[in-house]
Amino acid sequence: MKQGKSYSKFIMLSTHSSPVLLVLCTGNVCRSPMAEALFARRMDELKLDAVVMSRGLAAPVGRRPHPHAVAVAQAKGIPLNEGKRAAAVTSADMAMATVVFVMDAGHRREVQQRFPTATGKTFLLGQWSSQEIADPINEPLSAFELAWDQCDSGAKEWLRRLHEAGMLRVVA
């Protein structure tokens, strides 16, 4: 049953004409779910057409987002998707992605090793502010708040640049 769901989702995304933005972190329970929610909200505000999804490079598959990630998102008024569960990145995800965003140089190296064909479309989310976004897991709420703000800045700047480059279009 799970394979059918994954396959159906793959078919749905692979036949979608919109660009696919893939956000990666280590476990897909802190940074990437927050960034996914932020990208989705900012695209909605700007009326940009794209699909965003998040995955983990070493995800504890099926785990809910970290309680601090949920709390920060709720406090900021951009709640995480209720059904969000950690998912591991696959070759199919990487093939579908138009652009891949990672949180740090270690993630970028791992993508280069595991998915060499995605190297040219993989970028740091914090590239435009010359920053890596540290993993807040096992840290206090304030670390999640910082990661949220960094993800938001990165999402806004990337959306602006992708739109200016003609990679994202406004929907009517």
- pLDDT, averaged per 10 consecutive residues of the chain (172 residues), comes to 37 66 98 98 97 97 98 97 96 97 98 97 97 98 98 98 96 82
Catalytic residue among 31, 41, 55, 108: 31
**What was the pLDDT predicted at 16?**
55
Residue 135 is among the residues annotated as catalytic for this protein: yes
Q: Are 34 and 151 in contact (CB under 8 A)?
A: yes
Altogether, the residues listed in the chain come to a count of 172
Minimal CA–CA distance to 32: which of 164, 172, 168, 151? Answer: 151
- The DSSP symbol for 103 reads S
Catalytic residue among 93, 104, 135, 152: 135
Cα(157)–Cα(164) distance, rounded to whole angstroms? 11
Residue 109 is among the residues annotated as catalytic for this protein: no
Per-position b or e across 34-65, b if 16+ CB within 10 A of its CB: bbbbbbbbbbeeeebebbbbbbbbebeeeebb
Cα(66)–Cα(63) distance, rounded to whole angstroms? 9
**What was the pLDDT predicted at 17?**
83
Cα(92)–Cα(129) distance, rounded to whole angstroms? 30
Q: Are 41 and 159 in contact (CB under 8 A)?
A: no
Residue 161 is among the residues annotated as catalytic for this protein: no
- How would you classify the pairing of strands 99-102 and 20-25? parallel
What's this model's pTM, rounded to 2 decimal places?
0.90
**What was the pLDDT predicted at 172?**
75
Cα(78)–Cα(152) distance, rounded to whole angstroms? 11
CA atoms within 13 A on the CB side of 30: 25
Q: How far is CA 54 from CA 68, 90, 140, 142, in A?
A: 18, 11, 23, 22
